[in-house]
A and B are shown apart, each in its own frame.
Chain A
Amino acid sequence: MSDFAISINNLHKSYGKLKAVDNLDFQVRPAECFGLLGPNGAGKTTTMKVLYGKCEPDAQPVSAIDIYGYHPPKDALTIKSFSGIVPQQDNLDTELNVEDNLYIYSRFYGLPAGEARKRIAELLDFMELQEKARVKIRELSGGMQRRLTIARALLNRPRLLILDEPTTGLDPQVRHLIWSKLRELKESGVTVLLTTHYMDEAFQICDRIIIMDKGKKMLEGVPRALMKDNLETYVMEIYGMGQETAPSKAAEEYPEIRCERYDDTLFAYSNMQEPLVHFAEHLKVSDYHIRQANLEDLFLKVTGRSLNELQ
């Protein structure tokens, strides 16, 4: 038994010729919130599915997956008995009401009826859905459906919570509510593994993250440290640059500035603000904006600014 809640080594998964996950390694400690980041098609969801046996890794080369001492797909049922799974797409029974949805699901865990009723009341409270107990799913907003899907994954008081893009498409209020609930769960000792492509989400709740691209791990670490080590402090965005090459040439005179361009926007990175301002004056542009670099910039630096064929 290792000290890790999840330990993944040499994970390989191909669909035909496409390598969805390519030799992935990572470890998650108990009661840690761990984030998998990456653009669509990076292999995040596939990785999640492998953990609970929804997806089987390649036969060769052999992957080593350990979840609290159990190994999917062989031990998938046991793993699911102590885990909560929140898939990317909400898949509640739309014809039924909130309470019935949870009750039916509690039967899958074999919860006795009385205990299930108690747990359902607790969870509706926890997810702030108590007034919606008798409302049909069709009448719930997207945010309520998402909260209910999370509540459903908590019926068995899981040790491990696996969430695939928990807040995609939700408004800021609901996102903050979900984040605070996930923090609360983490504090109570639940290990949380989530995928996201929202950088603020990773910053808000993840203790550690990996950034994936095309099935490979690009970076791993604590969000703040990753930024400090891999990215300048400030970034200046200059719009409407067209296809001129002059600015890139001009930048050569400023060794403390690194430039990237995307379409007609120029991104200039530096650890100090002053050279950026000088650089902008040098270029005689007025339409620019200097801000603190964030995780999104790091993400784009690592995974590239242009779309790939899977996005």
Chain B
Amino acid sequence: MNFNDIYTVPAWPRRILSVWYRHERVYNSNFISNAFPPFLEPLIMLLGLGIGFGAYIQTMGAMNYLLFLASGIVMTSSMYTAAFECTYGTFIRLEFDAVYDGMLGAPLSTDDLIIGEILFAGTKGAFFALAVMIVTWLFGIITYPWSVMAVAVGFICGLMFGSVSMWITSFTKNINHFNFYFSGILSPMFFFSGAVFPLDNLPQAVRWAAQVIPLTHVVTLARAFCVPGQLKPQLIFNLLYCLIFILIAGWLALRGIKRRLID
């Protein structure tokens, strides 16, 4: 029987967008409680570390310490929100609320679900970066006009940690196991990515290791847009790293979650 005149499957960009729209609606249904913390966190961080440490450390390398810190936590904020979304958030949708089971009753594929969700993690990454930027602009910590681009880097950061977290979720059986990911992988990354202190004076081996972890590359990119005189052609390699990382982690996530959703 030919139903093509009456029933159509939307093209894949629309399907992915409809998944993104679902997440956006649910996130914004709690607008106040979801939109406030992204502003509060950098404020506490900058006040605490800035005033506390700042009394002893005025400069970090050749840079004002507050500027150094602010241009780093733009990315850690994006990283954590994307990681939370695609670990705890994804796990709850997968196992407890069975949200995906409901969505898979509509003409969506598992790939649509996962790509839409990673895009949403990117959007959250951009939003959290924007929140940090607004705080730093208001306090006059960052004044460089190119710093608006840090929001775009936040999007890339969100895609990276959204996809890798989703892959981790695809083989996590117990929600408590995410503790290992957060304490064992993301916390060290927070410190050894150059976000809160420079990597230059660390032992050679640690510096090499820092180049392998994804956060280092987005921090380098974000800082280049926030601090005058750091935009150099070799940043293209950092960007390339990010894109390749997203493709590989995204592919692993697609494969892993599909295996989990389709019996």
A residues lining the B interface (CB < 8 Å)? 1, 13, 15, 46, 49, 52-56, 68-69, 73, 76-78, 80-82, 84-87, 89, 91-96, 100, 104-105, 107-110, 149, 152-153, 156-157, 159
Given contacts A78-B3, A110-B10, 18 further A-B contacts (CB under 8 A): A1-B1, A49-B263, A55-B263, A69-B2, A78-B7, A84-B105, A91-B99, A91-B102, A92-B102, A93-B99, A95-B30, A96-B29, A100-B29, A104-B18, A108-B19, A109-B10, A109-B106, A109-B107
B109 touches A95 (CB 8 A): no
**Interface: B208 (CB within 8 A):** no
Q: Which residues of A contact B109 (CB under 8 A)?
A: 76-77
B2, B7, B21, B105: the one contacting A85 at CB < 8 Å is B105
Given A55-B263, A89-B98, A110-B14, also A80-B105 (CB < 8 A): yes
Give the residue name and chain of the A residue nearest to B27 (CB).
Answer: A95
Residues in B with CB closer than 8 Å to A49 are 263
- 8 CB contacts below 8 A, A to B, read A49-B263, A52-B105, A82-B3, A86-B105, A92-B102, A104-B22, A107-B21, A110-B15
Q: Is the CB of B101 within 8 A of A68?
A: no
Q: Which residues of A contact B3 (CB under 8 A)?
A: 68, 78, 81-82, 159
- Contact between chains at B101 and A108 (CB < 8 Å): no
Given contacts A82-B7, A96-B26, A96-B29, contact A108 B103 (CB under 8 A): yes
Which residues on B sit within 8 Å (CB–CB) of A159?
3, 7
Q: Is B152 an interface residue (CB 8 A)?
A: no
Q: A77-B9, A81-B9, A96-B29 are in contact. Are A105 and B1 (CB under 8 A)?
A: no
Chain B 82-108, CB within 8 Å of chain A: the 1/0 string? 000000000000000111011111111
Docked CA distance A302–B6 (Å): 42
Known interface pairs A96-B26, A96-B29; A46-B263 also in contact (CB < 8 Å): yes
**Inter-chain contacts of B9 with A (CB < 8 A):** 77-78, 80-81, 110
Flag if B263 contacts A56 (CB, 8 Å).
yes
Summed over the interface, the residue pairs from A and B with CB atoms below 8 Å come to a total of 105
In the assembled complex, the CB of B96 is this many whole angstroms from the nearest CB of chain A, namely: 10
| A82 lies within 8 A of B6 (CB) | yes
Residue B8 CB within 8 A of the other chain: yes
User: Does B25 lie at the interface of the complex (its beta carbon under 8 Å from any beta carbon of A)?
Assistant: yes
Q: Sort chain B's interface into a size bin.
A: 20 to 34
Q: Which residue of B lies closest to A149 (CB)?
A: B102
Contact A94 B97 (CB under 8 A): yes
* Partner of B107 from A13, A80, A152 at Cβ < 8 Å: A80
Q: Is the CB of A104 within 8 A of B262?
A: no
Max chain B CB contacts within 10 Å: which of A81, A94, A149, A157? A81
Find B105's partner among A1, A55, A87 (CB 8 Å cutoff): A87
Contact of A89 among B10, B15, B101 (CB under 8 A): B101
Q: Are B18 and A108 in contact (CB under 8 A)?
A: yes
Closest Cβ of chain B: how far from A53's Cβ, in Å? 7
Alpha-carbon distance between A49 and B104 when the two chains are bound, in angstroms: 10
The answer to whether A108 and B98 touch across the interface, beta carbons within 8 angstroms, is no
Expressed in whole angstroms, the minimum distance between the Cβ of A271 and any Cβ of chain B is: 44
A54 in contact with B30 (CB, 8 Å): no
Complex CA distance for A152 and B263, rounded to whole angstroms? 24
Given contacts A91-B98, A91-B99, contact A55 B107 (CB under 8 A): no
CB distance from A32 to the nearest CB of B (A): 15
- A69, A91, A95 — most chain B CB neighbours (10 Å): A91
In the complex, residue of chain B having the shortest beta-carbon distance to the beta carbon of A20: B263
- Residues of chain A within 8 A of B21, CB atoms compared: 104, 107
Complex: A94 Cα to B26 Cα, angstroms:
9
Least distance between B8 CB and chain A CB atoms (Å): 7
Docked CA distance A120–B21 (Å): 18
A56-B18 contact given A76-B109, A77-B109, A87-B101, CB 8 Å threshold:
no
CB proximity to A under 8 Å, residues B1-56: 1-3, 6-10, 14-15, 18-19, 21-22, 25-26, 29-30
Contact between B1 and A68 (Cβ–Cβ < 8 Å)? yes
Q: How far is the CA of A177 from the CA of B15 in the complex (A)?
A: 33
Q: Which residues of A lie under 8 Å from residue B8 when comparing CB positions? A: 81, 110
Contacts of A85 in B (CB 8 A): 105-106
Q: Are A95 and B29 also in contact (CB < 8 A) when A46-B263, A82-B3 are?
A: yes
Chain A nearest CB, measured from B115 CB (Å): 14
Query: Which A residues lie within 8 Å of B98 (CB)?
Result: 87, 89, 91
Closest to B108 in A: A108
